[in-house]
Amino acid sequence: MPSPESNRFCVSDLLTSAGIRLNLTSTDRDSVLAELCAAVPELQDHPEKRAALLKALRDREELHSTGIGDGVALPHARTALSGLVSQPVIVFGRHTRGIAFGAIDRKPVHLFFLLVTTSVTQHLQILARISRLLQGPVLRQKLLTAESPGQILSHIRDLEQTM
């Protein structure tokens, strides 16, 4: 039985159609991170905040890749970044060819979940929630083949309702 804490944040509530990119075009890790940062709705008109987020993401990747294997990466800063966003945000990106991202299984990453939070507690809870959703291959496969942001949201929401 899931704990009350694990249900506190639903990925489908933190992700919007505006924060979904189905056709990432970058050819390397740093460029993908920049593409994902540019998709954070709340940072669209704040280039200085986007730059701060991008630096924090790159710094985190230098410590250890957020590529968790099975074609998935969960880019996030080392800790919560106060002042960048008013509430937690998730941006989803998909790269058809895949990017060398230093994932633990050394395979290219196709699915990206960028996480930006306002507190360490949120940060840890949401990372755990995303990881749990992506444990099995079913959602990953659906995300690889979804044809619209609406389908992405629907697939995630459907799985969350069963957890």
Active site residues: 76
Tokens of 16: 């919007």
DSSP letters spanning 98-123: EE----TT-PPEEEEEEEE-SSHHHH
DSSP state of 96: E
CA distance 158 to 106: 30
CA distance 20 to 95: 12
For the beta sheet containing 72-73, the strands, ordered from the edge strand earlier in sequence to the opposite edge, are: 20-21, 89-99, 109-116, 72-73, 67-69
CA distance 10 to 13: 5
